Amino acid sequence: MGIRLFLVVAIALAIIWAVFKSLRSRGARAGENSRDSFSGIPRADLNRLRTVCRGDVEQMNRLIEYEKDRRPGINNREACLKAIASLTRDNR
């Protein structure tokens, strides 16, 4: 009985550890992308984009990347301003 209980507990702990490790690495990757996309953008512009996107950080990333793909060579701040203008215009 003691060995079976030990094995069950060991397996459960291994599964829990694997799940948390997976979630932590996934969260770190998302955070790295956010920091890269948002570097060089003044806080006021970033807050305005966040407001227009209703707090959806993934949408903010997508819009900045979309604007950078449309206009190669622009920096993050210009892409942020273009994204704000596009969303504001489209939501009228």
Asked whether the whole model's pTM tops 0.85, one would answer no
* First-to-final CA distance of the chain: 69
Name the residue with higher pLDDT: 30 or 26: 26
Instruction: Count the domains in the chain.
Output: 1
What is the model's pLDDT at position 29? 46
What is the band of 20 on the pLDDT scale with cuts at 50, 70, 90? Answer: confident
Alpha-carbon distance 19 to 13, whole Å? 10
Model confidence at 36, pLDDT cuts 50, 70, 90, reads low
Task: Select from 41, 42, 84 the least CA-distant residue to 63.
Answer: 84
Structure tokens at 67: 């604007």
Range of the domain at 64: 2-90
